[in-house]
Structure 1
Amino acid sequence: MKWSEISIHTTNEAVEPISNILYEAGASGVVIEDSFELLKERENRFGEIFQLDPDDFPEEGVIIKAYLPINSFLGETVEEIKDAINNLILFNIDIGLNKVTISEVNEEEWATAWKKYYNPVKISKKFTIVPTWENYQPVQSDELIIELDPGMAFGTGTHPTTVMSIQALESTVKPGDTIIDVGTGSGVLSIAAALLQAENVIALDLDEVAVHSARVNIKLNKVQQTVSVMQNNLLDGIQVEADVIVANLLAEIIIRFPEQAYALLKEKGYFITSGIINQKRKDVEDALISAGFTIIETLVMEDWVTMVAQKI
């Protein structure tokens, strides 16, 4: 399969808004090459050794890269991305050189290139996400390891929305619980729920590529006896009573089904919603409250918001 790499040379100030633009355009993840990384001092908490190649970074500023499938809509998508970036000037955001380049990448080349950006990362009190090609030894006796191969279609599991979702699962999932993961993607949240000793985890995604990716990662983490993956549109047709429902999706999608989530949850059950850009926070809050939920916790990381709502 052929993919297009879109590369934007910009400023550190513009990283977040441009990343948001790329996510909204359909990118499942971004690569950020920041010249500042070469100067940063890192705390060696997990036995990691950082060897950064200066050739991988710009001499100044930041390069943001994302990967989009080559299809008949690509040209239109790229033009929309360029327009949206140019419009950032209206908000007094310095977009720097704003040099946009496009190149074609084979799937195999992309998968190999991605590895240099992906290292073991401890994302919560218990969880560490480790790429499949790394030899990582747990630091703590109760540490839970998620092995993940991001492949071509999905991210590394270390995006703020995923990290906060796992942190929320860690504080809500109890042994024996039933969990529904809406829009499972790589399956990382379902894997986390299973490792937290949930008894039954149902992973749902409309994208058949996601379904395949999730099944591969679930088998890799040896939780296939607990997690079942289905191709499904959100919660349509689902009749399983759940203790926790988690949805790491765009705000525009989340607000479509709070009523369905409320109906499927047991009393005192939790609805974890993530993938919410801060500007859309109130839209999601209003939708959750309107459906009958009480928002009991809000997590914020960078420009992203995760909410834990409860059926009370």
Structure 2
Amino acid sequence: MKWAEVSIRTTHEETDIVAEIFHDVGASGVVIEDPELLNSYIDSGLFDYSDLPKAEQTELVTVKAYLPADEELDAKLRAFEQGVKELARRDGRDEKEVEISCQTVQDEDWADNWKAYFHTEKVGGLIVIQPSWEEYEASPDDIVVKLDPGAAFGTGTHPTTAMCIRALESLVKGGMRVFDVGTGSGVLAVAAAKLGAGEVVAMDYDRTAAHVAAENVQLNHVEDRVTTGVSDLLKQFTGKADLIIANIIADIVIRLFDELDEHLAPGGHLLASGIIDERVADVTEAAIAHGFVIDQVMEESGWAAMVISRGEDA
């Protein structure tokens, strides 16, 4: 299958909004190439980035998304262009400065790009993310999540996902029910199951992502506890969960609060991530407006993850 790789350079402040515009035209997620984040990786000496040169220009971020190269692509590209030009006008910039690039890639090209930078890594105190094509000899205390991202987003090593994994190691209790909203590759759903969750429902707006998640569930032999499917936010989820995971973007997390009363059990928590630092205040404001409290905020490399509850029920 062919995909259109759509790319735009934008400011750090607009990254979250551009990601939402991509979501609105049907992208299941975005790839963010942040030179500031890359430089921090190089300085740390970790993640196999040590042989890359440091970026000199760090003002702009490249945001990419992948859309199916089908009969609907032209309409989606026009809608995306209109959205980012409206954003430019709202910010007082000339819309002619907006530059969008698009190129066609094959499924196998995309997979090769992932494999070049994705290696086995211990992300939390227990969880190890192991690409399906690599060998790894686990220690006795390791909980290994095998993963093939395929055409979905989420390797477990990006700060947004890594923070979620570390939070799950504390939040997941034996036998609890978990909802994973916008599951992507399914990495967080699998991790929750391996940490002891009794039932995990993992869904994504994008059918391709849901299919990839299902494959990773089978790869990790947790299909007896994890079910996958397609849903716009929580609309196709039934009942209530003790823990809801939403590693998406700030504006989508804010929309999620309208659906939490129906789906979050008393004493339950929302683990929200994919939030740039500048949007923590917006998510906090929305949480308080809906009667929630912020239990914890974790920050890493310009990103934030938040643990949210009803307070008195926590």
Cα shift readout 1:147-174 (whole Å, capped 9, x = no counterpart): 1111123232222221122222111111
Unmatched segments (≥5 aa) in structure 2: none
Tell me by how many angstroms 1:67 deviates. Answer: 4.3
Matches within 5 A, 1:64-75: 64=62, 66-69=64-67, 70=69, 71-73=73-75, 75=77
Partners of 1:16 and 1:280 lie apart in 2 by: 11
After superposition, the Cα gap between the structure-2 partners of 1:84 and 1:127, relative to the gap in structure 1 and judged at 3 Å, is farther
Say whether the 8 Å CA contact 1:3–1:67 is kept in structure 2. Answer: no
1:111-190 alignment to 2 at 5 Å?
111-138=111-138, 140-190=139-189
Q: Which residue is equivalent to 1:94?
A: none
Show the counterpart of 2:195: 196
Cα distance in 1, alignment partners of residues 308 and 12 from structure 2? 26
What is aligned with 2:278?
Answer: 279
Structure 1 stretches lacking a partner, 5+ long:
92-97
SS for the counterpart of 1:162 is: helix
- CA deviations on 1:194-250 (whole Å, 9 max, x unpaired) are 011111111122322222111011111111111111322322364423211111122
Using the alignment, how far apart are the partners of 1:100 and 1:58 within structure 2?
Answer: 25
Measured in 1, the distance between the counterparts of 2:188 and 2:233 equals 15
Residues 119-173 of structure 1: per-residue CA shift (max 9 Å, x gap): 11222111121211111222x4211111111112323222222112222211111
Q: Does the C-alpha gap of structure 1 residues 189 and 267 become closer, same or farther in structure 2, counting only changes over 3 Å?
A: same
Q: Which residue identity does 1:221 align to in structure 2?
A: N
Separation (CA, whole Å) in 2 of partners of 1:41 and 1:75: 37
The question of whether the paired residues in 2 share the 8 Å contact of 1:262 and 1:292 is answered with no
**Number of the residue aligned with 1:23:** 19
Q: Which amino acid aligns with 1:72?
A: D
TM-aligned CA distance change 1:74 to 1:41, over 3 Å: same
1:66 CA drift (Å): 3.0
Shift of the 116–286 alpha-carbon distance from structure 1 to 2, 3 Å rule, reads same
Q: Count the aligned residue pairs.
A: 295
Q: Per the alignment, in what secondary structure is the counterpart of residue 257 of structure 1?
A: helix
Residue range with higher mean Cα deviation, 101-110 or 24-33: 24-33
Equivalent pair of 1:262/1:293 in contact (CA under 8 Å): no
Q: Which amino acid is 1:185 matched to?
A: G
Cα 1:33/1:117, change in 2 over 3 Å: farther
1:33–1:58 contact (8 Å) kept in structure 2: no
Q: CA RMSD in A?
A: 3.7
Aligned-partner Cα distance in 1 for 2:271–2:55: 41
2:103 counterpart residue number = 103
1:224 is aligned to: 223
CA distance in 1, matches of 2:77, 2:183: 29
TM-score where L is the length of structure 2? 0.77
Percent sequence identity over matched residues?
A: 35
Aligned letter for 2:265?
Answer: K
Q: Secondary structure at 2:294's aligned position in 1?
A: strand
Q: Distance in 2 between matches of 1:85 and 1:157?
A: 30
Secondary structure, aligned partner of 1:235? coil
Asked if 1 retains the 8 angstrom alpha-carbon contact of 2:155 and 2:187, the reply is no
Rounded Cα–Cα distance in structure 1 between residues aligned with 2:4 and 2:231: 28
Letter paired with 1:244? L
Cα distance between partner residues in 2 of 1:267 and 1:31: 35
Deviation at 1:308, TM superposition (A): 0.5
Whole-Å separation in 1 of the counterparts to 2:194 and 2:254: 29
Conserved 8 A contact 1:153-1:210: yes
Q: Distance in 2 between matches of 1:123 and 1:194?
A: 16
Q: Secondary structure at the match of 2:223?
A: coil
Aligned position for 1:296 = 295
